[in-house]
């Protein structure tokens, strides 16, 4: 009888799925590619929400209480709400530096890092660097291996499966990336304007750049003086494309575009599920490439 | 005062060293307040018209080790005393430096947080807020008159348990000394008589954007007359947030205090407010309040008005998470010949660590 009970308990443990909570939909999608059916993966921030401005709703604490693993972005993207959610969840497994909390930002060489002398006079800055690395297809594919490593620690029996999933994902993304980059290069576009610095990693990977943003400083709505400077720059550098994250209001961008002959505004989703047609990271990258091609 | 000054200098130097202590979050918040009231012109008014430093708060939090987190909040503010027992009456004021909250809480227990130290008790909605986070510039009448100027803030122990449920349900049990400054409705003569407190908090997601919270609290303990003081409170909060530039909060809080000392004093009141975020930086707010106190203790030298009604309106300009400018108008009817009309303009500045916001 005891053997039967032990067998049942062992079986339950072996086949119990890991419960994983991610902060953003991009991370949720990546974790699902690696864990497949070996985990239940849910997310806190909706694809249509700006992850900088999430409220620490107690219902998220209930979700985190049940988590075996929390996968967060890091680089201070969630600093305004995640610490309180972790504390309120009363789940010691997901405390900082525990195996149940994986912060992806630690593995990334961040863009736009600021010197220690930076102050908030620069706006709502991230001193550790730009946290929007999930918009770089190559970085996301590399992070797949870090997720596979952590999943293997928590579920060693499936180590081989997780590694193989990470490799498959990387191969898939790398082949698509070459096609995306080739299409972008054919457009001959080298500079675009974006609302926030959220597309910097994507632009760099595609050998594009954003010399100025619509917002004067991070988190600070644009002033009239800043917009005039932007219009002058677009005219002098012949920049004809403004990409606006679809959770920002595109009205300001449209006013600017109206002052620059031939300029267009494209409202783009920058995360998985930010639009009903963007169900995968590949859909997000494809949509960004199309937005540049269609100019 | 000299000791306080040295302590303040020591604490102010800590943020400079914070870079060396990787996980120390240090911050300073300062509130400047200009006010103009038809009752603030007297030389003996507790609160005078004009511009003043309302409060500066120093905050330090850090994980102590894998099991504990320590949080400390110190306030520098002006304390005014009007002595009516002498002729002529006198008014003195000085800046004081005091610990608002200093507590250690657990990090490694499943479903429960234990807390020890001096902290704001889990009683009602408003009692949990620090001055810079008040929904309005001033505290509601029920908070000021039934819980005291400093609120129910005391030394003690707390256990907050997350109940296994599909919605957020938390029960909090606290034992407090009942001896802190301002808690004149407790202050038992016996050191063995503590204040017991129970709170049940429930919050449901109605939609992705809307939540409703219903919370009830109760506390009781012996008072100086060796009789019992009971506190009861409940509040309902409805919150809707479309995005970072549109949100609405409606909160209604009721409170009762049975302070059975020389007389069986009974204070009851209600405060209800609406906060509407018009755009990313602008807020409009309104509040209505009512407070009634029966059978006041006649030994009280300064009895409170038996009935008070107050209406407030506020416009807030909040350019970032670290600064705010708020203009508030109050109309108070408290049985005096003419109601008090007050206009307040508050400037709120924060520096240091990025705060993690409470919901």
Q: Report the residue of chain A nearest B211, measured CA to CA.
A: A57
> Which of A82, A83, A221 comes nearest B280 by C-beta?
A221
In B, which residues are within 8 Å of A55 by CB distance? 241, 357, 359
Beta carbons of B193 and B183 less than 8 angstroms apart = no
Contact yes or no for A91 and B109 at CB 8 A:
no
State what percent of residues in chain A have pLDDT above 70: 95
What is the span of the domain harbouring residue B156? 2-352
Residues B186, B189: Cα–Cα separation, whole Å: 9
The residues near B325 (Cβ < 8 Å, ≥ 6 apart) are: B316, B317, B318, B345, B346, B347, B348
Q: Per-residue pLDDT for A71 more than 90?
A: yes
Contact yes or no for A124 and B359 at CB 8 A:
no
A224 C-beta neighbours (distance < 10 Å), count: 7
Contact yes or no for B320 and A57 at CB 8 A:
no
| pLDDT on residue B229 | 95
Q: Per-residue pLDDT for A64 more than 60?
A: yes
Contact yes or no for B113 and A90 at CB 8 A:
yes
Does residue B212 belong to any structural domain of this protein?
yes
**B105 vs chain A: nearest CA distance in angstroms?**
10
In A, which residues are within 8 Å of B204 by CB distance? 59
In B, which residues are within 8 Å of A58 by CB distance? 168, 170, 203, 211, 359
Per-residue buried b or exposed e for B62-83, using 16+ beta carbons within 10 Å of the residue's own CB: bbeeeeebebbbbbbbeeeeee
**Contacts across the A-B interface (CB distance below 8 Å):** 86
Question: CB burial class (10 A; 0-12, 13-18, 19+) of residue A60?
Answer: buried
Does residue B153 belong to any structural domain of this protein?
yes
> Beta strands of B107-193 (E only): which ranges?
112-120, 153-162, 168-176
In A, which residues are within 8 Å of B111 by CB distance? 65, 90
Does residue B209 belong to any structural domain of this protein?
yes
**B164 vs chain A: nearest CA distance in angstroms?**
8
In B, which residues are within 8 Å of A251 by CB distance? none
> B51: which strand partners?
B34
Does residue B221 belong to any structural domain of this protein?
yes
Q: Look up residue A166 and give its DSSP letter.
A: H
pLDDT in tens, A83-103: 999 999 999 999 988 999 999
Give the confidence band of A167 by pLDDT, cuts at 50, 70, 90. very high
| pLDDT on residue A117 | 74
User: Which one is predicted more confidently, B139 or A116?
Assistant: B139
| pLDDT on residue A115 | 74
**Domains of chain A with CATH codes:** 17-171 (3.40.50.1980), 184-293 (3.40.50.1980)
Contact yes or no for A82 and B358 at CB 8 A:
no
Q: Report the residue of chain A nearest B67, measured CA to CA.
A: A92
Contact yes or no for B108 and A50 at CB 8 A:
no
Contact yes or no for A62 and B112 at CB 8 A:
no
A159-186 and A281-293 helices, crossing angle to 10°: 10
Query: Among A52-61, A116-125, B220-229, where is mean pLDDT lowest?
Result: A116-125
Q: Per-residue pLDDT for A295 more than 80?
A: no
| pLDDT on residue A266 | 92
In B, which residues are within 8 Å of A84 by CB distance? 356-359
> Which of B107, B244, B354 comes nearest A79 by C-beta?
B354
Does residue B210 belong to any structural domain of this protein?
yes
Mean pLDDT by 10 residues, chain B (359 residues): 53 51 84 93 79 95 94 93 79 91 97 98 96 96 94 97 96 96 88 92 95 98 92 98 92 96 91 96 97 81 84 95 95 93 96 76
User: Which one is predicted more confidently, A215 or B276?
Assistant: B276
For residues A48, A51, A55 and A59, what is the CA-based torsion angle, rounded to 10 degrees?
Answer: 70
> B268: which strand partners?
B256, B292
Beta carbons of B261 and B250 less than 8 angstroms apart = no
**B68 vs chain A: nearest CA distance in angstroms?**
11
Does residue B170 belong to any structural domain of this protein?
yes
Q: Could you report the predicted ipTM of this complex, rounded to two decimals?
A: 0.88
* Cα–Cα distances in angstroms (integers) from residue A69 to residues A23, A78, A90, A166, B81, in the given order: 11, 16, 14, 18, 55
Does residue B186 belong to any structural domain of this protein?
yes
| pLDDT on residue A10 | 47
Does residue B357 belong to any structural domain of this protein?
no
Tell me the whole-structure pTM to 2 decimals. 0.89
Contact yes or no for B359 and A56 at CB 8 A:
yes
Q: Report the residue of chain B nearest A87, measured CA to CA.
A: B107
Query: Among A117-126, A272-281, B129-138, where is mean pLDDT lowest?
Result: A117-126
- Quote the number of domains for chain B: 1
CATH number of the domain where residue B147 is located? 2.40.160.10
Contact yes or no for A57 and B66 at CB 8 A:
no
The residues near A82 (Cβ < 8 Å, ≥ 6 apart) are: A23, A56, A72, B356
Q: Per-residue pLDDT for A4 more than 70?
A: no
Residues A64, A21: Cα–Cα separation, whole Å: 7
**What are the residues of chain B with a beta carbon less than 8 Å away from any beta carbon of chain A?**
19, 63, 66, 69, 107-113, 162, 165-168, 170, 203-205, 208, 211, 241, 243-244, 280-281, 319-322, 351, 354-359
Q: What is the mean pLDDT of residues A41-70?
A: 94
Pick the closest to residue A23 from A142, A159, A134, A162 (CA basis). A134
């Amino acid at each position: 009888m005891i053997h039967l009970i032990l067998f049942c308990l062992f079986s339950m443990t072996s086949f119990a799925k890991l419960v994983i909570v991610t902060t953003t939909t991009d991370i949720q999608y990546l974790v699902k590619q690696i864990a497949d059916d070996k985990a239940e993966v849910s997310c806190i921030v909706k694809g249509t929400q700006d992850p900088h401005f999430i409220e620490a709703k107690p219902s998220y604490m209930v979700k985190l209480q049940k988590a075996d693993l929390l996968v967060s972005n890091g680089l201070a993207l969630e600093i305004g709400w995640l610490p309180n959610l972790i504390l309120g969840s009363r789940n010691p497994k997901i405390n900082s530096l525990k195996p149940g909390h994986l912060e992806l930002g630690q593995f990334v060489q961040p863009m736009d890092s600021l010197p220690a002398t930076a102050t908030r006079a620069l706006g709502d800055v991230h001193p550790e660097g730009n946290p929007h690395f999930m918009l770089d297809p190559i970085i996301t594919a590399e992070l797949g291996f870090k997720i596979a490593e952590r999943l293997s620690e928590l579920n060693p029996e499936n180590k081989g499966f997780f590694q193989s999933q990470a490799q498959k994902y990387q191969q898939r993304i790398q082949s698509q990336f070459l096609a995306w980059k080739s299409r972008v290069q054919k457009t001959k576009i080298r500079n675009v304007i974006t609302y926030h610095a959220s597309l910097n990693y994507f632009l760099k990977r595609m050998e594009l750049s954003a010399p100025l943003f619509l917002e004067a400083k991070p988190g600070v709505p644009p002033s009239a003086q800043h917009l005039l400077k932007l219009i002058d720059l677009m005219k002098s550098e012949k920049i004809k494309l403004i990409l606006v994250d679809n959770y920002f209001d595109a009205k300001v961008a449209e006013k600017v575009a109206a002052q620059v002959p031939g300029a267009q505004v494209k409202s783009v989703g920058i995360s998985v599920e930010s639009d009903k047609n963007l169900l995968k990271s590949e859909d997000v990258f494809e949509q960004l490439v199309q937005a540049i091609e269609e100019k | 005062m000299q000791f306080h000054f040295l302590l303040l200098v020591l604490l102010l130097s800590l943020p400079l060293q914070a870079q060396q202590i990787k996980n120390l979050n240090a911050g300073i918040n300062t509130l400047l307040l200009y006010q103009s009231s038809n009752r603030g012109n007297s030389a003996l008014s507790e609160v005078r018209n004009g511009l003043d430093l309302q409060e500066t708060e120093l905050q330090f939090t850090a994980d102590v080790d894998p099991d504990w987190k320590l949080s400390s909040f110190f306030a520098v503010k002006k304390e005014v005393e009007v002595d009516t027992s002498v002729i002529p009456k006198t008014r003195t004021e000085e800046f004081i430096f005091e610990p608002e909250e200093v507590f250690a809480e657990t990090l490694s227990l499943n479903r429960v947080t234990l807390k020890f130290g001096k902290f704001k008790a889990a009683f009602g909605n408003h009692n949990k807020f620090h001055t810079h986070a008040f929904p309005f510039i001033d505290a509601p009448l029920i908070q000021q008159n039934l819980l005291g100027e400093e609120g129910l803030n005391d030394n003690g122990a707390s256990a907050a348990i997350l109940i296994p449920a599909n919605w957020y349900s938390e029960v909090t049990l606290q034992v407090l000394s009942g001896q802190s400054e301002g808690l004149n409705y407790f202050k038992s003569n016996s050191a063995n008589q503590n204040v017991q407190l129970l709170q049940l908090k429930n919050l449901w997601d109605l939609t992705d954007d809307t939540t409703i919270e219903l919370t009830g609290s109760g506390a009781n303990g012996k008072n100086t007359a060796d009789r019992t003081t009971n506190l009861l409170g409940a509040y309902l909060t409805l919150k809707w947030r479309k995005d970072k530039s549109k949100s609405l909060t409606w909160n209604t809080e009721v409170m009762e205090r049975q302070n059975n000392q020389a007389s069986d004093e009974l204070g009851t009141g209600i405060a209800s407010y609406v906060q509407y975020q018009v755009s990313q930086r602008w807020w409009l707010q309104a509040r209505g309040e009512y407070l009634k106190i029966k059978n006041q203790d006649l030994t009280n030298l300064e009895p409170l008005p038996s009935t008070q009604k107050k209406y407030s309106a506020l416009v807030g300009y909040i350019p970032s998470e670290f600064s705010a400018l708020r203009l508030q108008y109050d109309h108070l009817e408290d049985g005096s010949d003419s109601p008090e009309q007050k206009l307040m303009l508050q400037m709120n500045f924060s520096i240091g660590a990025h705060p993690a916001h409470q919901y």
